[in-house]
């Protein structure tokens, strides 16, 4: 709450001796803060200097007074706090119109036991902003800033920015000893190596329609270092070179591991909380940053999820890239696993699986090959700038998985790349659902989910023509 030069205020006394009603006014000194005073019966229009008021208050102490604004924000003030001497007071005047300031104060008559003085609680808005900006300094690379042209709020100052995700109890990463590096010559590809498809790090990469492997990053003048269309138009996993490779750090197949190379801006949106944008134009396929947080076990994620309210934002990212789908259609089950029908029926009878129907009306059965993912990334309290990216049903970015160790399918990087050229200052968004199913979720379907699961699915606020209205089925 930021105060202007002089206003009438509402004060509430914490004690109630024999009271009388007096008009009360205060003035604001930009350096010393607020100086408050009351009027005596014989001097209703003469302000009392703070030094006089302080002296009088020592004779008739009043412990606490609340300063109350129209936005229901209370500020406790301690009258026993010693204040610097001031020789003059700004003349009291009529309140500034609400449209011209952030907080609206009311002029009232206050029951007081004169004389007295108060000291306001320090205003938190500027201090919070400065504290959050200090946290941003923990990030390496181009500058990350915070902008709020909507109100005086600031992102949570308890959020911890980190360069790498933090592994919590129960999380084990594959040892470096099992990593295999490529044997590419350092002088390959204009002395920066691994430009050719013979690189062993591409052995597990996806094949194109011609049966060939595709190098992930462009090398031309316009798309150097950008993710190629083969990957952008799919969800193929990306394999980069690692510390055991023969190539050097400037290898073309080392993009995400070098971290963010573009400036970012965390900003306040009008109706969707905080968002993220870039102050410079981004090319199609350009790497933005990774999604980071606390890496926890699936069991820990379930425990945290039950403790959070249904209206809290969810910052969980599952490491399920290499997991088989949990459910398959009945026809697929009967075709591929005819010998497991009795086993599936037993799971249904025991309540271990509940058959449901797909959008096309097919029964969905439990996939016998399904193995649950082990780890989850929780970005609620720890992470990077991409934690502030909002959802859109028509996004301009997508999250891709990136590995350096071919033998560890449980942990990898989560990297954001642009899907198109994005002009400077445009909000960066991605699809939280990230599925090909673009069908709209109706209000009736949302209510049915509430009846089934006990809560309404989150309503989408992206505002695009492709909006699905709700996030999840």
Sequence-distant (6+) residues with CB within 8 A of 85 are: 50, 51
399: β partners? 416
Cβ proximity of 57 and 117 under 8 Å: yes
* Residue 191 pLDDT class (50, 70, 90 cuts): low
Distances (CA, A) of 79 to 13, 163, 201: 11, 45, 70
| 195 confidence band (pLDDT: 50, 70, 90) | confident
> How many helices and strands (H and E) does the chain possess?
8, 24
In this structure, the dihedral spanned by the alpha carbons of residues 249, 254, 259 and 261, taken in order and rounded to 10 degrees, is: 90
Which whole number is the average pLDDT over 324-331? 92
Decide: residue 95, CB within 10 A, 0-12 exposed, 13-18 middle, 19+ buried.
Answer: middle
Distance CA 189, CA 196 (A): 7
* Residue 115: cis peptide before it, omega within 30 degrees of 0: yes
Do residues 163 and 139 lie in contact, with contact meaning Cβ atoms separated by under 8 Å?
yes
pLDDT bin (cut points 50, 70, 90) of residue 285 is very high
* Per-residue pLDDT, 171: 96
Helix (H, G, I), strand (E, B) or coil at 118: coil
Q: Which of 418, 402, 369 is nearest to 204 (CA)?
A: 402
Six token digits for residue 386: 């991409």
Highest mean pLDDT among 59-68, 210-219, 329-338: 329-338
Our CA dihedral for 81, 84, 88, 90, rounded to 10 degrees, sits at -60
What percentage of the chain has pLDDT greater than the value 90?
44
How far is 204 from 145, CA to CA, in rounded Å? 38
Whole-angstrom distance, CA of residue 226 vs CA of residue 292: 21
DSSP per residue, 270-316: SSSSEEEE-SS-B-TT-EEEE---EEEEHHHHHHHHHHS-TTS---E
Q: What is the mean pLDDT of residues 443-448?
A: 87
Give the separation between CA 326 and CA 338, rounded to whole angstroms.
17
Give the pLDDT of residue 331: 93
Q: Is the pLDDT of residue 472 over 50?
A: yes
Task: Say how far apart CA 90 and CA 6 lie, in whole Å.
Answer: 7
Residue 192 to residue 253: CA distance in whole angstroms = 9
- CA 53 from centre of chain: 47
- The reported pTM is 0.71
Q: What is the pLDDT of residues 370-390, one digit of tens each?
A: 999 999 999 999 999 999 999
Contact 20, 111 (CB under 8 A): yes
Q: Is the pLDDT of residue 463 over 60?
A: yes
Where would I find the H helices in 323-462?
330-336, 341-349, 443-453
Q: For residue 410, is pLDDT > 60?
A: yes
Q: Please report the pLDDT score of residue 221 as a whole number.
A: 84
Rounded-to-integer distance, Cα 54 and Cα 115, Å: 9
Among the residue ranges 116-130, 240-254, 255-269, the one predicted with the least confidence is 116-130
pLDDT value at residue 192: 57
Q: Is-contact 301 317, C-beta < 8 A?
A: no
pLDDT in the model for residue 36: 42
pLDDT at 359: 74
- HSE of 413 in the Cβ direction (CA atoms, 13 Å)? 25
Q: Give percent of the chain above pLDDT 70.
A: 71
Euclidean distance between CA atoms 370 and 122, whole angstroms: 56
Instruction: Give the mean pLDDT of the chain.
Output: 77
Contact 430, 395 (CB under 8 A): yes
Supply the pLDDT for residue 67. Answer: 39
What is the per-residue pLDDT for 278?
98
207-232 confidence digits (pLDDT tens): 998 888 889 999 888 888 999 999 99
Whole-number pLDDT of residue 74: 38
């Amino acid at each position: 709450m930021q105060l202007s030069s002089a206003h009438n205020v509402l004060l509430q006394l914490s004690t109630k001796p024999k009271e009388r009603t007096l008009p009360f006014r205060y003035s604001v000194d930009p350096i010393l803060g607020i100086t408050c005073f009351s009027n005596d019966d014989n001097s209703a229009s003469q302000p009392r200097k703070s030094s006089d008021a302080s002296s009088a208050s020592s004779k008739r102490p009043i412990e606490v007074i609340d300063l109350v604004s129209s936005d229901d924000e209370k500020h406790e003030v301690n009258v026993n706090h010693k204040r610097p001497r001031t020789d003059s007071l700004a003349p009291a005047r009529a309140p500034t119109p609400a449209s011209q300031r952030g907080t609206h104060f009311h002029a009232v008559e206050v029951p007081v036991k004169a004389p007295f003085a108060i000291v306001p609680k320090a205003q938190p808005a500027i201090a919070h902003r400065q504290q959050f900006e200090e946290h941003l300094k923990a990030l390496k690379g181009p500058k990350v800033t915070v902008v709020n042209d909507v109100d005086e709020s600031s992102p949570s100052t308890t959020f911890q920015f980190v360069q790498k995700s933090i592994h919590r109890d129960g999380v084990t990463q594959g040892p470096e000893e099992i990593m295999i590096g490529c044997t590419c010559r350092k002088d390959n590809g204009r002395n920066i190596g691994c430009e050719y498809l013979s690189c062993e790090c591409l052995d597990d990469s996806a094949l194109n329609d011609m049966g060939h492997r595709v190098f992930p990053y462009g090398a031309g003048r316009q798309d150097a270092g950008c993710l190629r269309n083969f990957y952008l138009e799919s969800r193929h996993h990306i394999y980069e070179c690692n510390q055991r490779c023969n190539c050097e750090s400037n290898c073309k197949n080392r993009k995400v591991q070098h971290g963010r190379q573009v400036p970012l801006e965390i900003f306040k949106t009008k109706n969707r909380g905080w968002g993220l944008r870039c102050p410079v134009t981004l090319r199609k396929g350009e790497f933005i940053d990774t999604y980071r947080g606390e890496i926890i076990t699936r069991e820990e994620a379930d425990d945290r999820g039950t403790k959070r309210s249904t209206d809290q934002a969810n910052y969980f990212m599952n490491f399920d890239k290499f997991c088989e789908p949990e459910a398959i259609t009945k026809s697929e089950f009967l075709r591929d696993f005819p010998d497991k029908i009795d086993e599936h029926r037993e799971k249904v009878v025991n309540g271990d699986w509940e058959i449901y129907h797909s959008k096309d009306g097919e029964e969905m059965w439990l996939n016998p090959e399904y193995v649950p993912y082990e780890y989850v990334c929780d970005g609620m309290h720890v992470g990077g700038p991409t934690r502030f990216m909002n959802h859109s049903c028509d996004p301009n970015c997508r999250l891709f998985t990136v590995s350096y160790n071919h033998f560890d399918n449980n942990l990898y990087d989560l990297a954001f790349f642009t899907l198109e050229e994005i002009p400077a200052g445009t909000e960066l968004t991605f699809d939280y659902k990230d599925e090909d199913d673009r069908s709209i979720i109706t209000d009736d379907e949302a209510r049915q989910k509430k009846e089934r699961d006990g809560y309404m699915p989150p309503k989408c606020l992206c505002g695009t023509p492709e909006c699905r209205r709700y996030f999840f089925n």
